[in-house]
Structure 1
């Protein structure tokens, strides 16, 4: 029933949104779920939860962390809980606003805030979750400091990042680029971390670092999984933002002008359709789930 309600909710959210936003939403109810959901049990958020919670979904993106909690906790608990979804991107926050109304989320608010300095009151949350962001945000220790400040004594911090060995969309994108009828550069190594502050792709380093930052009862777990893609169209919709990132990062201006994103997407679909004979296939992922408790 929850999945049916979610599907109906998404159909409402989809009205009047761009294809770019639609891709984010489909990924939120698709492949991204498996990258975030394992964090819930590690943060003691489960169907058996009876105590109301005060949750911050920081650097929320499309709020998949909140989505999974809303799908998991009993309605009676949600009715007595509070949720705040924040992101520095107003576009992401606006998507979340549509999701709250369209999917019937309970007691969820939004705000445009910087995860490194939210300016939220101290000791105000029981849980703070950060999904797939610490390996992307420069200066992530500032994010950790803000989380410790705003968590209540005994409050739970949780986050996910990609492992250095994560493959995900990379193998299929690599073979596709190699098949293009022009020189479509693809990096030999696709790094999972976008800054040089620590190593958020290494579970051992993460555990040591969180303890050094003052978190107690630190747990770092590696979760592997697969997601079944129905066809090449779903691949391009789900991972379309990666196409733009690869083009802007690795292609020169002349190549980008000669071969715009729509052409690249069409070539990608053609290659994957041929590669998998028009059928679906699995992509594999490797994600790190980390938690720690705040003692004050």
Structure 2
């Protein structure tokens, strides 16, 4: 992150809740590593000279837009248009604060359903979807909408997790096993949350995008290592997963007996002891897919 970006980010922190700070730290930390490789695949680089009309669909905290803002030349951004949309008003609220606090250029927001945006046809040169198609039920409806709103020759791009992605799982599994009570952790944590296709398999994705009418389809597997600064960063970055695990796998009785705050403290204590108060590396495996729309 540049010094200017860091200064802008500090302004955002003064205007958001602790809950929102967790999402923002993840956006500027490990999550950007999972989104950034998509940019060059979508021909969005520091050498880009032509203005873009970009749609960040199912944007979350708008990490895709964040990376585009950090990458494209200012002169290009000044002539471009960008729209960030998500079905969550809370996420859009965070993005609005980011736009102002981080001085993003020509970025607007809207609350929209990625499967039915209602946006005009042939509106965008680029549509990006970061880490969502393996989570949204009925993802083909998202693809249909993307094709509709892309201009002829427009580029679609998305990222999903590979089925063998480990990421935060080994550390959380070991921590749960160390708790002084039965903290259930499933034998397998699936990367995909629905049964529509297999968005964790590069070969399947390539075939499927072609069958959906995309041309010049490229599907690449990106592996990497992210260094966590300390236990605090782990708990802050992956805090949302703790609550999800508790709600999904634990009984109501267990959740009442051991609330989220207690679990977070136990997790942090385990990690601090395991890594002796130092940082450590985690591995990730993410799929980047792109395709062109011919009309």
Normalized against structure 2, the TM-score is what?
0.99
Q: Secondary structure, in 3 states, of the residue corresponding to 1:264?
A: helix
Residue 171 (structure 1) aligns with: 170
Q: Secondary structure, in 3 states, of the residue corresponding to 1:152?
A: strand
Residue 190 (structure 1) aligns with: 189
Residues 96-116 of structure 1: CA deviation (Å, up to 9, x unaligned): 000000000000000000000
Residues 253-279 of structure 1: CA deviation (Å, up to 9, x unaligned): 000000000000000011000111111
Matches within 5 A, 1:1-296: 3-296=2-295
* In structure 2, C-alpha distance between the alignment counterparts of 1:230 and 1:76, rounded to whole Å: 35
Name structure 1 gaps, 5 residues minimum. Answer: none
Q: Secondary structure, in 3 states, of the residue corresponding to 1:277?
A: coil
Name structure 2 gaps, 5 residues minimum. Answer: none
Aligned length: 295
Give RMSD over aligned pairs. 0.6
Residues 49-96 of structure 1: CA deviation (Å, up to 9, x unaligned): 000000000000000000000000000000000000000000000100
* In structure 2, C-alpha distance between the alignment counterparts of 1:104 and 1:163, rounded to whole Å: 33
* In structure 2, C-alpha distance between the alignment counterparts of 1:10 and 1:183, rounded to whole Å: 40
Moved over 2 A (4+): none
Q: Secondary structure, in 3 states, of the residue corresponding to 2:226?
A: strand
* In structure 2, C-alpha distance between the alignment counterparts of 1:64 and 1:173, rounded to whole Å: 24
Residues 192-242 of structure 1: CA deviation (Å, up to 9, x unaligned): 000000000000000000000000000000000111011101100000000
> 1:177, CA displacement in angstroms?
0.1
* In structure 2, C-alpha distance between the alignment counterparts of 1:241 and 1:3, rounded to whole Å: 27
Q: Secondary structure, in 3 states, of the residue corresponding to 1:174?
A: helix
* In structure 1, C-alpha distance between the alignment counterparts of 2:32 and 2:86, rounded to whole Å: 19
Q: Secondary structure, in 3 states, of the residue corresponding to 1:272?
A: helix
Q: Secondary structure, in 3 states, of the residue corresponding to 1:292?
A: strand
> 1:160, CA displacement in angstroms?
0.1
Q: Secondary structure, in 3 states, of the residue corresponding to 2:30?
A: coil
* In structure 2, C-alpha distance between the alignment counterparts of 1:16 and 1:295, rounded to whole Å: 43
